[in-house]
Amino acid sequence: MSILKMICLFVIFLIIGFAIEILLRKLLRTDRKALKRYGPINDFQKRGELFLLIIFLFILAVQVFLKGDLWFGSVLIYFVVSTLFRGFIEWKYDRQSKEYIITLVFLIFTILFLVIIKYFDVHN
């Protein structure tokens, strides 16, 4: 996929993602927290996400050392696991904000975007 097509696709997904967020926030009647900086809900989430990151970096280092390159799937797996963990913590400890729904919808949306970028390479 050419760089121009990838940039166009990225911009389209950003616009669609922004529209989905606005729609979800109106349907769920939640505050707009997108402009605020992300912060963990509690210390357990902070430590859990740090643990996942350390494990991911270790696996990544081993992968690069043994194979000499990155595997797209390992990055995708880390993203899915860390986002699911974040969504679970939001559901468990901050259920009334309904942020977990938005987090999980954006997980699906981002996976869809990555799959399109990776596997549906349109040459025309």
The total of structural domains in the chain comes to 1
SS3 57: helix
In tens, the pLDDT along 9-39 reads 889 999 999 899 889 989 998 876 644 667 7
Q: How far is CA 5 from CA 49, 110, 115, 123, in A?
A: 33, 17, 15, 9
- Domain ranges, residue 36: 3-119
Question: Which mean pLDDT values do the consecutive 10-residue runs of the chain (124 residues) have?
Answer: 80 91 89 66 94 94 81 84 94 90 92 79 50
- What's the predicted TM-score (pTM) here? 0.80
Question: Is 124 among the domain residues?
Answer: no
- Decide: 117 and 1 in contact? Cβ < 8 Å: yes
The burial class, CB within 10 Å (0-12 / 13-18 / 19+), for 8 is: exposed
Residue type, 44: F
Question: What is the 8-class DSSP label of residue 36?
Answer: S
Angle between helices 72-93 and 99-119 (to 10 degrees): 170
Q: Is residue 47 part of a domain?
A: yes
